[in-house]
Amino acid sequence: MYRVRLLALRLGLGISLFGAASLAQAQTAAPTPAAAPEQPTATPAPATNPPTVTSPAPTPATGTQPVQLPLPQASPRAAVTQSFGLTEVTVDYHAPAVRGRAVWGGLVPYDQIWRAGANENTLIKFSTPVLLRGQTVPAGQYSFYVMPHQDRDWELVLNRVTTHWGAEGYDQRDDIIRVPVIPETAPFHENLLYWFSDIKSTGAHLNLTWEKRTLTLPIETEVHKQVLSGIEQVLQQKPGDWQLLAQAADYLVQNNIEAERALTYINESLRLQDAATNNWIKARLLAQQQDFGTAIVYARKAIKLGDKEDSAFKNQLPSMRIALTEWQAKAY
């Protein structure tokens, strides 16, 4: 045995071989135990670490992941998006149906907050800041609720928490704004519907129609303020672009705002490039300021230059001549 152990040590197996030999002798010497009653046996754990199983495969009876049938929703999901000016508004909701039920004061109780739809929160998202009844609401996404009343104005509510299931967990302290509205009588509509109307560059009306009621939320934006901010940023990047300067002046003239700023833009545009386009813009700007005599000078120059330019500008010549005639009548 000494020689075997010495050989094992030289081979780096000392303890293992010695232990194996001792175990073999112990097994040979040990008496055979009496037979015991048969018991259920468990599979012994393997000597090495087993691989980690993150989730057992589900079985029909005891699966960890529920199996759902592909059934249609009673209140299907819907979404509506509308752009106006530089703003985009999206309403994401589930549309319940009347199905012969009493809605207002019944399915939707009075004096209780309502999710303005079905299932989880109805969500409204603004891409830019907006004005609701003169109050500024920052850009972002909000939960949209309705508080109906029987004998006074209803309230449209925006709440900062967007992860509730309907009104569960609703807290008035998280409200961003409450807007009073008067419910209007409307033709019967089976399914709840959100839709936009009165769409302008400065705003639009968001409408909620269900059963025989319509609620209207006017949404306004400070679009000119947003445009002017964008114009300044672009012109700082390209201060010597006569066409960009002319476009900026043209926007101000079309909307009859910021006359002094428009004059600065168009004069710089003309200094860089004397073209039919910017001469005509200045003529219109001067006419807005009741300076018809000078407006006529720039209008005649624009028409003369326009005869030599592309066909797109020539298409404007008839309307330019009509405007020139009107200005002449007012100037002389």
pLDDT tens-digit readout, 158-216:
999 999 888 889 999 999 999 999 999 999 999 999 999 999 999 999 999 999 999 99
pLDDT of residue 4: 38
Q: Is the pLDDT of residue 17 over 80?
A: no
The larger pLDDT score, comparing residue 261 to residue 37, is at 261
pTM of structure: 0.73
**Res. 11 pLDDT band, cuts 50 70 90:** very low
Sign of the alpha-carbon dihedral angle for 151, 156, 161, 164: positive
Q: Which of 261, 256, 299 lies closest to 280, judged by CA?
A: 299
CA distance 244 to 10: 89
CA distance 91 to 184: 21
pLDDT of residue 86: 96
The larger pLDDT score, comparing residue 94 to residue 28, is at 94
Return the minimum-mean-pLDDT range out of 8-17, 82-91, 143-152.
Answer: 8-17
pLDDT of residue 66: 82
Q: In the predicted model, what is the mean pLDDT of the chain?
A: 84
pLDDT of residue 63: 55
- Phi and psi of 7, rounded to 5°? -65, -40
Tell me which fold the domain 224-331 belongs to: 1.25.40
CA distance 244 to 251: 11
List every span in the chain annotated with CATH 1.25.40.10: 224-331
Q: Is the pLDDT of residue 37 over 60?
A: no
> Mind listing the pLDDT tens digit for each residue in 67-98?
888 888 888 899 999 999 999 999 999 999 99
Return the minimum-mean-pLDDT range out of 31-35, 116-120, 256-260, 325-329.
Answer: 31-35
